[in-house]
Structure 1
Amino acid sequence: MNFLIVLLLMIGVSFSLPKLVSPEWLKEHLGDPEIVILEFSDSQSYLVEGHIPGARLTEKEEWRVMDEKTGALVKKPLKEYEKLFRKWGINNSSKVVLYYKGNNTNEILGAVYAYWIFHLLGHEKVALLDGGWSGWSNKGFPVSYDEPQIKEGNFRANYNPRKEIDADYLLNSIGKKPILDGRPVGHYFGISKFPAAKKYGHVPCSISLPWEWWIQRDKRTNKLLIKIPAYVDEFLKNQGIKREDEVLLFCFGGTGAAFLYMVMDFAGYQGMRVYDASKREWEYLNYPLNRYVWETFRDCRLPNR
């Protein structure tokens, strides 16, 4: 009798999902009804190069919409995500694994943005595949060229406002809460900018932590992949940032801030909040920017207001 009870309990226990899953872990769980896999690429790559068996295709463009007033690319209305997730067969009980092909940085940025969106919608049973497509294919693991048969899901969003901020919240937090800037260092310092940007510089008192440093090219597949550096935790500690602190994340258009969110989440930090519209909206509002100065949270040049 005791053995039967133990066996029933074992059957009823759901497996846990690491935040960063290895190719070996995913291969072991292929075909599990709880797992939903999303590939960030395009239709040609998905069908011609193949994909992980059971993976659904998506692209970064499916996850964002343009704000006509500011030109910022931002998240879609939450109901639209519910429709997308259900189309891919996602339920609230699903464990979602994201991976990117690595043909370009947009695929990587799409995957990390999706990671944050899932958390924003109250679904933290989501993981990133370590090494993306390169990590999978370098192991010689199975490849499919067929589109999976999908049963529509029943996902319902549970929005968590503690995962994001707006421009005024950031403005009123300058010098009071740590702000991380995920853009390239030249953009932070103010000697260069994205072509779409109208102004140079960074939010006063913000700290430069560029996500682009963490992108490498796989020698075998020649595709891009994320290599998360070991120094992230030490860097944040040196800035006086504790794991439970509220940290505000900024970039040019949201995806870089989402990249920082994901990396900090992997490292066990808890209080990250993304400013989705970021610099596109910030400069439209004519909010303050500092230039030609390196700053930290503790040593910064406050704006004149």
Structure 2
Amino acid sequence: MNWLLPLIFIISLAIPAEGKERTIPVFVSTQWLAEHLNNPDIVILHIAFSRSNYTVGHIPGAQYLWFSWLAPSNPELSTELPTLEQADSVMEKFGITNQSRIILYFTGGSITTTTRMFLTFNYFGLGEQTSVLDGGFDAWKAEKRLISTEAPVVKRSSLTLSTKPSVVTDADWVKENLANPNVIIIDSRDSSFYNGNGGGVVRTGHIKGAKCMPFSTLVDSLTKVKDTETLQRMFDKLGVKKGTKIVSYCHVGQQATVTFAVATMLGYDATVYDGCFEDWNVRDESYPVEKPEAEKKE
């Protein structure tokens, strides 16, 4: 049966390590979406905190996705993952199937809410068929593309979801890997919080050993992601090497997902510490926090 070995090797190369092959990029352009608006497999989701944001105008065919449906908060932590049952119910309402191509977009420059949804769709096994519209609705409107006020009539689907736990991690895993040379922790908050000047928390500063890369540095003034070469240089400068696992965190789990999406686009193994600094800063001293001044003294 040795003749099977070359065939098995070829097949193994064709199958991505994470399972399904990505059918569309992490970020798609407005031009790409305009050319695919009539594709029956496309599901477009307008992410906002209020329905009125959607009803006054949206991309034709888009459906309204209330942020909190798929990013609920509780008394302990903000912006958490929904249960499998909750996610399945919401996604079936949108007519999503395992063959759908899902396009997420934001309004008013709120890219973090959209990349948070990108993380959620990744967690529930739909990441390889989900994209973020680069520049969001603002870019679409600036190019004077079609806008609709009609909500599409969508038939509820039947969807089978499965979780992908590697997309997120927790405080204990981060703590155990603080000294792991194959893991790099990225603080996606503004540098003032990284430096310990932001306030609003029990312990100020950042997770010990974390590198500072604010999510805002990954996008331009129009909230479009910077070009691949520029982003790659930024990650190289930070010391990120191929094969390194990237763990990003922020305040409550939104800003870190911009880092996650960009790192995924660049081909890195990326995950998000979902509890973020909201969780880490209230823990005991065995979950270390430091400031740049303290680092210099060591």
TM norm structure 1:
0.82
Contact 1:92 1:154 in 2 (8 A): no
Confirm or deny that 1:137 pairs with 2:130. Answer: no
Residues 288 and 36 of structure 1, relative CA distance in 2, 3 Å threshold? same
Confirm or deny that 1:113 pairs with 2:116. Answer: yes
Alignment of 1:68-107 (within 5 A): 68=75, 70-102=76-108, 105=110
The number of residues matched between the two structures is 270
Contact 1:65 1:76 in 2 (8 A): yes
Q: What amino acid is aligned across from residue 42 of structure 2 in structure 1?
A: I
Q: CA deviation at 1:214?
A: 4.2
Correspondence for 1:284: 282
Partner of 1:91, secondary structure, is coil
Structure 1 consecutive aligned stretches of length 4 or more whose deviation exceeds 4 Å: 214-218
Correspondence for 1:7: none
Correspondence for 1:149: 153
Q: CA deviation at 1:139?
A: 2.0
Q: CA deviation at 1:243?
A: 2.8
Q: CA deviation at 1:300?
A: 10
Contact 1:182 1:249 in 2 (8 A): yes
Correspondence for 1:3: none
**What fraction of aligned residue pairs are identical, expressed as a percent?**
26
Measured in 1, the distance between the counterparts of 2:98 and 2:64 equals 20
Q: What amino acid is aligned across from residue 162 of structure 1 in structure 2?
A: S
Residues 206 and 293 of structure 1, relative CA distance in 2, 3 Å threshold? farther
The correspondence for 1:60, drawn from 48, 67, 73, is 67
Measured in 2, the distance between the counterparts of 1:213 and 1:59 equals 27
Partner deviation per Cα, 1:78-114 (whole Å, 9 max, x = no partner) = 2211111001111111000011111x63xx2221101
Q: What amino acid is aligned across from residue 262 of structure 1 in structure 2?
A: A
Measured in 2, the distance between the counterparts of 1:73 and 1:19 equals 22
Measured in 1, the distance between the counterparts of 2:191 and 2:134 equals 26
Correspondence for 2:241: 242
Correspondence for 2:15: none
Correspondence for 2:42: 35
Partner of 1:65, secondary structure, is coil
Structure 1, 232-241 or 91-100: larger mean CA deviation = 232-241
Q: CA deviation at 1:153?
A: 1.7
Q: What amino acid is aligned across from residue 239 of structure 1 in structure 2?
A: L
Correspondence for 1:44: 52
TM norm structure 2:
0.84
The correspondence for 1:162, drawn from 158, 163, 166, is 166
Correspondence for 1:4: none
Partner of 1:97, secondary structure, is strand
Partner deviation per Cα, 1:184-238 (whole Å, 9 max, x = no partner) = 1010011223x3x2220100010001013345555xxxxxx33436532112223
Measured in 1, the distance between the counterparts of 2:213 and 2:293 equals 15
> Unpaired segments of 5 or more residues in structure 1?
1-14, 219-224
Correspondence for 1:5: none
Partner of 1:150, secondary structure, is coil
Correspondence for 2:271: 273
Structure 1, 240-249 or 116-125: larger mean CA deviation = 240-249
Q: CA deviation at 1:267?
A: 1.8
Correspondence for 1:11: none
Q: What amino acid is aligned across from residue 83 of structure 2 in structure 1?
A: P
Q: CA deviation at 1:284?
A: 2.2
Correspondence for 2:9: none
Confirm or deny that 1:232 pairs with 2:231. Answer: yes
Q: CA deviation at 1:172?
A: 0.8
Contact 1:205 1:300 in 2 (8 A): no
Q: What amino acid is aligned across from residue 274 of structure 2 in structure 1?
A: D
> Unpaired segments of 5 or more residues in structure 2?
1-21
Q: What amino acid is aligned across from residue 94 of structure 1 in structure 2?
A: S
Contact 2:51 2:66 in 1 (8 A): no
Confirm or deny that 1:191 pairs with 2:197. Answer: yes
